[in-house]
Amino acid sequence: MSATDVDGARAAGTGAPARSTTPLAGASGEKRRMSLTHKRNLRLGLLFISPWIIGVAVFIVYPVTYSIGLSFTRYSGMATPTWVGVQNYITAFSDPLVAKATGNTLFYAIIAVPLGLVVALTLAIAMNQNVREVAWYRTIFYAPSLIPAFAMSFIFIVFLNPQFGVFNQVIGLFGGANVNLLGDPTGVKIAIILMAQFGAGNAALIFLAGLRNVPKTVYEAARVDGAGPIRQFFSITFPLLTPVLLFNLITGVSGALQVFTEAFVITNGSGDPDGGALFYMMYLYKTAFGFAELGYASALAVLLFLTGLALALLIFWLSRRFVNYDVDAA
């Protein structure tokens, strides 16, 4: 007696329905059709995103890979690259101008990024007020960020001119002496940091979106419990804005490491006075296109990429301590 007959006899003796061991042909056919549907959808999806894939491959993957390879060579852009191994990296760590540019960039990042976050959050809170003219306020606060960096740099050159600039004219009204910020190594960095705050409108819009996303019921419950505006900000608003803060912090650090246009325009590409405005990206640019050392410049670019990546990973690791994604935990 076969196993099928035994199962049938047992089912008959117990009154239970017989168990069939025949494979479900319909199920396998359905799986096959689903598999074909998935493959067709995958092909269509790849077809639609193919422009993005090609763009990433041509404008990101290939240049980065080529630059990494070029960083191990001596190359002027004209002759054939000559393999030098890690010599470019050894030179970078002993180059005093690299140390100078790195110090200037870190000085800028340490001050400009936190200050920019505070300014952007302040603007966002002002843009979130429930008043009739709020649309005008949002336009006014955001408008400076639309000015191109090179145009803003020219404006600051005139604004900070030691002879006839508005800045020194205001100081003169209070009996102060003229100040030449652009002629001082530290002053020029301070001027560029202040200039960067005019672009805080972009980060402010992102903060504003985060503010609009905070449930109003949370504030209503806090007011019922007697919490004032300051307590509401530090107990509700700020904790729930930490994901937005993380995003703006990452983009701010990335932008600070690549500061270039303002310093290049203000100093006419020299990085003076006394190298005070010689930022890392400016030195990289001068090395590549001023000194025709593309191999060495590629090594500097790789080091900048690794530094930015390390800082981003560090920020993400630290974010586990302060970023809050749970409304109930606020």
| Average pLDDT rounded to a whole number, residues 97-115 | 96
Single-letter residue type at 2: S
Q: What span, in angstroms and rounded, lies between the C-alpha atoms of 151 and 261? A: 10
Kindly tell me if the per-residue pLDDT of 2 is higher than 50.
no
Kindly tell me if the per-residue pLDDT of 98 is higher than 90.
yes
| Residue 3 confidence (pLDDT) | 47
| Residue 6 confidence (pLDDT) | 45
| Residue 77 confidence (pLDDT) | 84
| Residue 257 confidence (pLDDT) | 94
| Residue 28 confidence (pLDDT) | 61
With cut-offs at 50, 70 and 90, classify the pLDDT of residue 32: low
| Average pLDDT rounded to a whole number, residues 244-260 | 94
Kindly tell me if the per-residue pLDDT of 92 is higher than 60.
yes
Kindly tell me if the per-residue pLDDT of 258 is higher than 90.
yes
pLDDT in tens, 110-152: 999 999 999 999 999 989 888 888 888 888 888 998 999 989 9
Residue 285, C-beta contacts closer than 8 angstroms, at least 6 positions apart = 260, 264, 297
Q: Of 253, 254, 271, nearest to 262 (Cα)?
A: 271
**Phi and psi dihedrals of 288, rounded to 5?**
-75, -50
| Residue 307 confidence (pLDDT) | 95
316 versus 28: the higher-pLDDT residue is 316
DSSP 62: H
- Torsion-angle region of 77 (φ positive above 0: left; ψ -120 to 50: alpha; else: beta): left
Kindly tell me if the per-residue pLDDT of 29 is higher than 80.
no
Kindly tell me if the per-residue pLDDT of 328 is higher than 90.
no
9 versus 184: the higher-pLDDT residue is 184
Q: What span, in angstroms and rounded, lies between the C-alpha atoms of 201 and 278? A: 26
Kindly tell me if the per-residue pLDDT of 27 is higher than 80.
no
**Helix (H/G/I), strand (E/B), else coil: 24:** coil
Kindly tell me if the per-residue pLDDT of 1 is higher than 80.
no
Q: Which residues pair with 82 in a beta bridge?
A: 74
| Residue 172 confidence (pLDDT) | 83
| Residue 31 confidence (pLDDT) | 64
Neighbours of 92 (CB within 10 A): 20
Kindly tell me if the per-residue pLDDT of 105 is higher than 80.
yes
| Average pLDDT rounded to a whole number, residues 276-300 | 94
Contact 280, 297 (CB under 8 A): no
| Residue 61 confidence (pLDDT) | 93
Kindly tell me if the per-residue pLDDT of 199 is higher than 80.
yes
Kindly tell me if the per-residue pLDDT of 19 is higher than 60.
no
Kindly tell me if the per-residue pLDDT of 16 is higher than 90.
no
Q: What span, in angstroms and rounded, lies between the C-alpha atoms of 175 and 120? A: 33
Q: Of 200, 197, 199, 214, nearest to 128 (Cα)?
A: 214
Kindly tell me if the per-residue pLDDT of 25 is higher than 60.
no
Per-residue CA distances from 91 to 87, 97, 278, 295 (Å): 6, 11, 18, 12
| Residue 327 confidence (pLDDT) | 58
What ranges in the chain are assigned the alpha helix state H? 3-14, 25-56, 62-70, 87-94, 96-127, 134-142, 149-159, 166-173, 185-196, 201-212, 216-224, 229-232, 238-257, 261-266, 280-285, 294-322
| Residue 4 confidence (pLDDT) | 47
